[in-house]
């Protein structure tokens, strides 16, 4: 075997080794990038679900207080207990919102800001900080649940989940309310 043939063989081995190394490095880099992306998606999903859960808990406590104060329903708990629970729920909702601010995409953050604004109005009316009658109360609650759906849509898009919870495939739903006393039909 001549020197030229040896040179070609050595060059081919070196080129093969470099190609293998480069391919492995790129594959490892891609794997790490996917792993990091998946890790953040898991954290986002947890943050989004926790935030909606905290928002809904706050709304349900506000409803309990409002219905008790307006005589729509008696609460089995003392008003001071419900007020303390509302304060704690607000604190936890704020913490969950901060996770959204850290992890969420732009559309998710904007949807969360809107959701915060409308649910605070529900809280404030229940607490007597802003005025409103029963009709305005229902409008505020409807706005809160529409904002939750908007948040769901933004979160789904941010996570790459296909479909939506609003739109032509999903007609807008109204609040589920019991009939007024003495009536048996829909409210």
Q: Measured on CA atoms in the order 86, 175, 142, 72, is the torsion positive or negative?
A: negative
Residues in the chain, pLDDT under 70 = 34-39, 167-187
Task: Specify the pLDDT at position 31.
Answer: 73
Domain boundaries along the sequence of the chain = 38-159
What pLDDT, on a 0 to 100 scale, did the predictor assign at position 179? 64
Helices (H), the chain: 3-70, 79-103, 106-127, 134-159
- Tokens representing 147 are 């904002």
Residue 167 — φ and ψ, nearest 5°? Answer: 110, -170
List of long-range contacts for 151-157, beta carbons under 8 Å, 24+ apart: 151/48, 151/51, 151/52, 151/108, 151/111, 151/112, 151/114, 151/115, 152/52, 153/111, 154/105, 154/107, 154/108, 154/110, 154/111, 155/44, 155/48, 155/104, 155/108, 155/111, 157/105, 157/107
**pLDDT score of 169:** 61
Q: What pLDDT, on the 0 to 100 scale, is given for residue 183?
A: 52
177 close to 187: Cβ distance less than 8 angstroms: yes
Position 34 scores a pLDDT of: 64
Query: Looking at residue 20, what is its pLDDT?
Result: 83
pLDDT tens-place string over residues 94-116: 999 999 999 999 999 999 999 99
What's the pTM value of the predicted model, to 2 decimals? 0.74
* Predicted pLDDT at 75: 83
pLDDT at residue 186, as a whole number: 47
Contact (Cβ atoms closer than 8 angstroms) between residue 130 and residue 117: no
- Beta-carbon neighbour count of residue 120 at 10 Å? 18
Sequence-ordered list of residues with C-beta below 8 angstroms from that of 107, at least 6 positions apart, any chain: 154, 157, 158
CA distances from 77 to 60, 85, 128, 137 (A): 14, 11, 19, 22
């Amino acid at each position: 075997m001549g020197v030229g043939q040896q040179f070609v063989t050595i060059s081919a081995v070196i080129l093969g080794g470099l190609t293998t190394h480069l391919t492995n490095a790129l594959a490892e880099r891609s794997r790490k990038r996917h792993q990091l992306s998946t890790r953040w998606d898991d954290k986002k999903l947890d943050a989004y679900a926790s935030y909606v859960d905290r928002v809904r808990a706050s709304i349900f406590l506000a409803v309990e207080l409002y219905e008790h104060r307006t005589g729509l329903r008696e609460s089995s708990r003392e008003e001071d207990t419900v007020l303390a629970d509302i304060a704690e729920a607000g604190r936890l909702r704020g913490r969950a919102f901060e996770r959204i601010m850290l992890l969420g995409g732009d559309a998710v953050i904007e949807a969360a800001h809107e959701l915060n604004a409308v649910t605070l109005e529900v809280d404030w009316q229940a607490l007597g900080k802003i005025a409103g009658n029963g009709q305005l109360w229902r409008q505020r609650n409807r706005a809160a649940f529409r904002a939750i759906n908007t948040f769901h849509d933004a979160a789904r898009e941010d996570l790459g989940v296909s479909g939506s919870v609003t739109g032509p495939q999903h007609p807008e739903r109204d609040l589920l309310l019991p009939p007024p006393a003495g009536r048996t039909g829909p409210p």
